[in-house]
Amino acid sequence: MNVLDVSRDQIATAARRVMARCDELAQVTATPGGITRVYLSPEHARVNRLVAEWMREIGMRTWQDAAGNQFGRMEPTSLSGTRGGSDLPALLLGSHLDTVLDAGRYDGIVGVLMALEIVRLLRVPTDDGAASDGTVWRVPLPFAIEVVAFSDEEGTRFGKALLGSSAVSGGWDEAWWQLTDADGVTLHRAFLEFGLDPGRIGEAAKHPDELVAYLEAHIEQGPELDRAGLPLAVVSSIASARRFQLVVEGEARHAGGTPYDLRRDALLGASEAALAVERICAAEHHIVGTVGRFEAFPGAVNVIPGEVQFSLDLRGEFDGERDRVWGVLTRELDAIMGRRGLRWHGREIHSAPALFCEPLLRDVVAAGIARAQPDGGEAPIVFSRAGHDGMALGAITGVGMLFLRNPDGISHHPDEAVSAGDVAHGIRALFEAVTLLGHEPRG
């Protein structure tokens, strides 16, 4: 075998390591028996330490940035032993390590661990385990490789998603410091408690010149590949998203003594609103709306709910469509609340535009998939309804994504799955994509 070739066995070993490490990281949770790992928590610190160790094990230089993202970097060194300068732009590979509440073990995590296997495979086998000084690359690449484990993609703790990647793309908003978690802890205080200096957040931002591109592998989080019986897809674009915190106000009164004509029940108004979200969004193409949190106050069995707070997550293929549907929803809310003698107001807590993957990156990912697929067939193209760190990274660099089959399309749930075989195909495809990119002139 040529030293440049990567064997089927090496890929299978890499995939097994990814699966075992997903299991290992699943143990790092705030909720024993489930998986919950949120931004700036002790669990966040622990997985960063573990992943940093794994980065150093393959010769990467590591650091945690000013937003708690874990990075590793490998300089390009060719087979001839010529070492590249440390200020060369980097191809950024990775995904996120934070989770939703009661999560699965692969969302984000598998992409970080696959990225580490790409770095391992790029090194010639003879120096496995050696320090970065001795590293020789299987393929001479004109860029460095950085692997990133983003610290907050889900927005589970503070409601605002993509905090980690927004810091890297220079999109941090000073207003976010006042966001609070369920215990009333501000983002600012959480930074200090984690050991990060809020005053240095700007240092996490990368300049576009520092990056070649961002490439991410992720489970599909939908059923299309499973239904098609295919392991991998190239992503065309990522849905645009907006999230709102909505409040319906009525009047809390006695559950027994208040006749129906005197009731202003906030829970019934909010329930009608949630059903309207389903009705209106389902009638649209590629628009989904979800009410995921719903809380009635004062929350007593014998009191008519006087207030309801609920969330709305709205996504669409195009920003304009998404915004038009939000307009339809607000008019419907006005009508519902008007009929019921209620008031409503809302606050936007997250907004991200649709992200269209860069054509060149789509091409190299598609070519990588074609080389990796058992039958060598053409790569399917899918649109991502789920959000990803690339939505933030798109502000500073081109973004490409590879999806892995997600049995039954179930995600954000403990039953989330991916097979070792599909991870192996994914690693092969990503490896091919990275090496192809190394041969593409980029302006």
Interface ranges with ligand GLV (CB under 6 A): 154, 386-387
In the complex, the smallest distance separating the C-beta of residue 387 from ligand GLV, rounded to whole angstroms, is 3
- Going from the C-alpha of 358 to that of each of 166, 236, 239, 266, 409, the distances in angstroms are 19, 8, 15, 46, 25
Nearest alpha-carbon partner for 342 in 246, 273, 244, 248: 248
In the complex, the smallest distance separating the C-beta of residue 386 from ligand GLV, rounded to whole angstroms, is 4
Residue whose entry in the numeric block shows the structure tokens 């995904």: 95
Window contacting Mn ion (CB under 5 A); options: 15-23, 103-111, 231-239, 332-340: 103-111
> Residue 50 and residue 68: Cα distance in Å, rounded?
14
In the complex, the smallest distance separating the C-beta of residue 96 from ligand GLV, rounded to whole angstroms, is 9
Residue whose entry in the numeric block shows the structure tokens 């996120």: 96
Counting DSSP H helices and E strands in the chain, the numbers are: 11, 14
Choice between 151 and 373, CB closer to ligand GLV: 151
Choice between 336 and 401, CB closer to Mn ion: 401
Choice between 198 and 409, CB closer to ligand GLV: 409
In the complex, the smallest distance separating the C-beta of residue 357 from ligand GLV, rounded to whole angstroms, is 16
Choice between 387 and 438, CB closer to ligand GLV: 387
Q: Which of the choices ligand GLV, Mn ion, none does residue 316 contact, using the CB cut-off of 5 to 8 A by kind? A: none
Choice between 386 and 404, CB closer to ligand GLV: 386
> Taking CA 152 as the corner, what is the angle to CA 150 and CA 158, rounded to the nearest 5 degrees?
170
In the complex, the smallest distance separating the C-beta of residue 161 from ligand GLV, rounded to whole angstroms, is 6
Residue, CB closest to ligand GLV: 387
Binding mask of the shown chain, residues 51 to 90, with x at each position contacting Mn ion by CB under 5 A: ----------------------------------------
Residue 209: other Cβ atoms inside 10 A: 10
Count of residues that bind Mn ion according to CB under 5 A: 2
Nearest alpha-carbon partner for 224 in 364, 412, 390, 381: 381
In the complex, the smallest distance separating the C-beta of residue 389 from Mn ion, rounded to whole angstroms, is 8
In the complex, the smallest distance separating the C-beta of residue 372 from ligand GLV, rounded to whole angstroms, is 25
> Residue 95 and residue 217: Cα distance in Å, rounded?
7
In the complex, the smallest distance separating the C-beta of residue 428 from ligand GLV, rounded to whole angstroms, is 25
Choice between 154 and 432, CB closer to ligand GLV: 154
Task: Report the residue count for the chain.
Answer: 443
Q: Which of the choices ligand GLV, Mn ion, none does residue 250 contact, using the CB cut-off of 5 to 8 A by kind? A: none
315 contacts 265 by C-beta, under 8 angstroms: no
Does a cis peptide bond (omega within 30 degrees of 0) precede residue 223? no
Q: List binders of Mn ion among 146-185 (CB under 5 A).
A: none
Residue type (1 letter), 302:
N
> Residue 168 and residue 67: Cα distance in Å, rounded?
8
Strands 232-238 and 240-249: unpaired
Choice between 67 and 337, CB closer to ligand GLV: 67
Residue type (1 letter), 405:
R
In the complex, the smallest distance separating the C-beta of residue 391 from Mn ion, rounded to whole angstroms, is 11
> Residue 440 and residue 396: Cα distance in Å, rounded?
19
Q: Which of the choices Mn ion, ligand GLV, none does residue 387 contact, using the CB cut-off of 5 to 8 A by kind? A: ligand GLV
Structure tokens at 388: 């990803």
Radius of gyration of the chain from Cα atoms? Answer: 23
Q: What end-to-end distance do the CA atoms of the chain give, in Å?
A: 35
Choice between 19 and 314, CB closer to ligand GLV: 314
> Residue 30 and residue 171: Cα distance in Å, rounded?
29
Choice between 292 and 359, CB closer to ligand GLV: 292
Which of 72, 89, 108, 155 binds Mn ion (CB under 5 A)? It is 108
Instruction: Tell me the β-bridge partners of 400.
Output: 215
Residue type (1 letter), 410:
I
Which of 107, 152, 220, 272 binds Mn ion (CB under 5 A)? It is 107
Binding mask of the shown chain, residues 342 to 371, with x at each position contacting Mn ion by CB under 5 A: ------------------------------
Positions touching Mn ion (CB under 5 A) are: 107-108
